[in-house]
Structure 1
Amino acid sequence: MDPGLGFAVPVVMAAFGVLFLAARKLGAARESLFWGLGFLLSAAAFGFPATDVLIPTQIIAFMADAFFALAFFSYACAVVFRFGGPRLFRARIALLGVGIVAPAYGIFVAESLPAETLASDLTCALQLGFALVTARCWPARRIDRGLLVVLWVVVIQNVLLAASVQLTVGDARPEAFFTTDYSELMFGGALLTSLVFAILALSGTVSDLVDGYRRDALVDPLTGLLNRRGLAAIAGRATAGQAGGVICCDLDRFKQVNDTWGHEAGDRLLVAFADLAQDVVGSSGVVSRTGGEEFVVHLADMPARHVRATAESLRAAMRRFDWSPTGIAGHQTASFGATMRAEAEPLEDALRRADRLVYEAKRNGRDRIEDDLPSQRLSLAVVNR
């Protein structure tokens, strides 16, 4: 076998392993840890034969096969975390055990290189194939579909290697492993598939990481609603021919809630109101938390009567809501400001008008809706309890 190939495979795999672990350190999903461990274990397995001048051949073969088994166990775990499906941890541990014991039998008992390589290839293929078969569903993203295809190629590659043992290994002794055609096929195939496999898996991991950072930048972590930046990204600039409504909501006496029942109760109040607002608005608009106890409902391409009705529904739903599960006694109210967003008007302009209307509602007694909607002006007040 070409010495350069024997050197390149472990180095490439180790490099990818480090990249996956670095991605995990930056916040990538859990499967990146298992991808990284799998590539590092594979790198060690491919690198063990280079130590034949220091360690007995049988020990080298056993360690390499054990590391391959552990690598494919890690790959299988990554598949489960990436694509879903049952954990079946005991079954996977059992397959790992077989993947270590079966090649060891070929090394120490049968003392046969064909038996060892056959057992190692088939048990590794079995571990990864079992994870792929139990995957929950065919993924929607092209990267993930490509990754699944390449993983199946790895399984098939191992099966074909096992099928070729009689031709590519023959009666060779373990110490003659690098003189066999099998070693050329094994290292060459591993270099090719590992490159494609790692690039696709790493691309999916990095894509998820970037999406996560983008989501964190646009979503309020407490309520799960869009934040102000997220609202601007979704609503943006109204297009020509499209008007809509903006409703600003500010919870009344929120500081008093925090002072009386504690900040945890205040957080539960915010979460409960976010859920309530989403239930009321439904698919007709977007609810966001723009700061503290301030929320904004954006209703794209909606007439004034719908904007007014939504504000009324929110105010009424809040007064009817049972707040006791949040640890807060009594009714909670909010003040609302509703305005229409003109065609092609920047969102910030409409938000400033709605915000001024909220403060007008606060000055006029709270638990009110103030608006500058084009039809009859709405100014509803209730007796505070």
Structure 2
Amino acid sequence: MGSADVILVINLFVAGLLAAAFMTIAIYDKSRVSARWLAFGYVLGMVYFALEFVIPAFDNARLPVVAAFAVFLGATIVFNGGLAHKYGVAPPWWPMLFFLAIASVAVYLVQELPRQSLTAMMAYQLPYAVMQFTALGIVWSSRQRRERLDTILMAVLTASALQFASKPFIAHGLGGRGADPQSYVQTSYALVSQSLGTVFGLALALLALAILVRDVLAEATSKSETDALSRLLNRGGFERHAEITLRDAARRGVPVALVIADLDHFKGINDNFGHACGDRVIETFAGFLREAAADHHVAGRIGGEEFAIILPGTNLAAARLFAEGARSAFAALPIDSLPAEHRCSASFGVAELGAGEGFSDLLRRADEALYQAKGGGRDCVRVSAGPAGRQASPVFNGRG
């Protein structure tokens, strides 16, 4: 058994392990369609390596060579389908399958040419490069936010496509790919080609696996930090994201403000109209808060009827205007399940992060301002005078 044979056997088992890894994710999260496609892609990879290993046993290897080519190209197509599902892009199945058919016919026909013909070698390798560039296009065209792993994946896809495109020239430089398909595995080119395939195939698989695991963990974290009723961050999630936001704002040198809101007379709503109606009020206010918040804001439900929103890049005056706009708009908002003439209101406390303060200090001052708003007749906004200030300042009052 030559060195290339050993690599083929290793690749066969590695492809099996990767297929099992992706299938494990698919079983863990049945909604993750991309993991099923990626698992299938590596199953096809196993078939390809098995075909490459048995090709020397055929007297006429023309059809087995075409079959191996088609299976491996099919594996790259299925891999692309998995990426498309992962990145929310419509998989270009029909164009890719049509390309598979055309490329397979071309490989069958070019076997009439001399083995060392550059045309024949390019007909075999360039379709793989095209599929890798297609995968790159899928990731690039996604509207999902790209993180570091996604960028690395794009770089590896580019490098993989280029190594496929360069293989005909590598084969030429190493003395060719053998006198016939049966002798391919004994050539120096086979060793280099299979080694390159192992490196890039494993790199792509591990990156795809890491990205899927990252997404699974991110979703699990998001679920653990999300309040089921309001679909905002719960208190723990809000505090964690608030700390991150404050650190980022300090790094960028921008102000940060915190607005806390508490629904007025909420116990009376539960007592007079029932808890289901109270839940509806919470859902309505949470939805209103989500719509009012910008993408970079952090909103959460930090108590039964208490909400908070971190406003990075916002000073005290702007945060006060945000709170007053939210107060007046919510007070005019009809609530399902409540009588048409009944309107709900909320009280607001606002504070801006001061020099040397942490999140707990900011939260305490905003909470003190909210307490002043509740004590000042409700349906109003109060702002903290600052770290040195002892009283919250009245700003707007919906009761006039």
Q: What's the TM-score, normalizing by structure 1?
A: 0.72
Question: Is the alpha carbon distance of 1:261 and 1:47 closer, same or farther for their aligned partners in structure 2, counting shifts above 3 Å?
Answer: same
Counterpart among 72, 75, 80 of residue 71 in structure 1: 75
Counterpart among 125, 139, 142 of residue 129 in structure 2: 125
How far off is 1:249 after superposition? Answer: 2.1
Stretches of structure 1 that go unaligned for 5 or more consecutive residues are none
**2:328 equivalent to 1:316:** yes
Which moved further from structure 2: 182-191 or 201-210?
201-210
**2:18 equivalent to 1:16:** yes
Which moved further from structure 2: 31-40 or 335-344?
335-344
1:334-373 alignment to 2 at 5 Å?
334-338=345-349, 340=351, 343-344=357-358, 346=360, 349=364, 353=368, 367=379
The separation in 2 between residues aligned to 1:141 and 1:243, in whole angstroms, is 25
Matched pairs, number: 372
How far off is 1:218 after superposition? Answer: 3.5
Counterpart AA for 2:308: V
Question: Is the alpha carbon distance of 1:171 and 1:351 closer, same or farther for their aligned partners in structure 2, counting shifts above 3 Å?
Answer: same
Q: What secondary structure, in the 3-state scheme, does the structure 1 residue paired with 2:240 have?
A: helix
Q: Deviations over 1:41-97 (max 9, x none)?
A: 212211234456998856644442232021110233345456676744322221122
Counterpart among 262, 267, 287 of residue 272 in structure 1: 287
Question: Is the alpha carbon distance of 1:236 and 1:79 closer, same or farther for their aligned partners in structure 2, counting shifts above 3 Å?
Answer: closer
Compare relative contact order (CA 8 Å, sep 6+) and give the higher one, 1 or 2: 1
Counterpart AA for 2:6: G
For residue 239 of structure 2, what is the aligned residue in structure 1?
A: 232
Counterpart AA for 2:190: S
How far off is 1:11 after superposition? Answer: 1.4
How far off is 1:146 after superposition? Answer: 2.8
How far off is 1:8 after superposition? Answer: 0.9
For residue 198 of structure 1, what is the aligned residue in structure 2?
A: 205
Residues 336 and 368 in structure 1, CA contact (< 8 A), matched pair in contact too: yes
Counterpart among 233, 249, 256 of residue 262 in structure 2: 249
Residues 238 and 300 in structure 2, CA contact (< 8 A), matched pair in contact too: yes
Residues 260 and 308 in structure 2, CA contact (< 8 A), matched pair in contact too: yes
Question: Is the alpha carbon distance of 1:247 and 1:31 closer, same or farther for their aligned partners in structure 2, counting shifts above 3 Å?
Answer: same
Question: Is the alpha carbon distance of 1:26 and 1:356 closer, same or farther for their aligned partners in structure 2, counting shifts above 3 Å?
Answer: farther
Counterpart among 152, 156, 159 of residue 150 in structure 1: 156
Question: Is the alpha carbon distance of 1:266 and 1:248 closer, same or farther for their aligned partners in structure 2, counting shifts above 3 Å?
Answer: closer
Question: Is the alpha carbon distance of 1:132 and 1:377 closer, same or farther for their aligned partners in structure 2, counting shifts above 3 Å?
Answer: closer
For residue 93 of structure 1, what is the aligned residue in structure 2?
A: 97
The separation in 1 between residues aligned to 2:136 and 2:217, in whole angstroms, is 26
CA RMSD of aligned residues (A): 4.7
How far off is 1:187 after superposition? Answer: 1.7
For residue 6 of structure 1, what is the aligned residue in structure 2?
A: 8
Stretches of structure 2 that go unaligned for 5 or more consecutive residues are 386-390
The separation in 1 between residues aligned to 2:109 and 2:285, in whole angstroms, is 63
**2:303 equivalent to 1:295:** no
Counterpart AA for 1:346: S
For residue 176 of structure 2, what is the aligned residue in structure 1?
A: 168
Question: Is the alpha carbon distance of 1:261 and 1:307 closer, same or farther for their aligned partners in structure 2, counting shifts above 3 Å?
Answer: closer
Q: What secondary structure, in the 3-state scheme, does the structure 1 residue paired with 2:149 have?
A: helix
Identical counterparts, % of pairs: 18
How far off is 1:188 after superposition? Answer: 1.9
The separation in 1 between residues aligned to 2:48 and 2:101, in whole angstroms, is 17
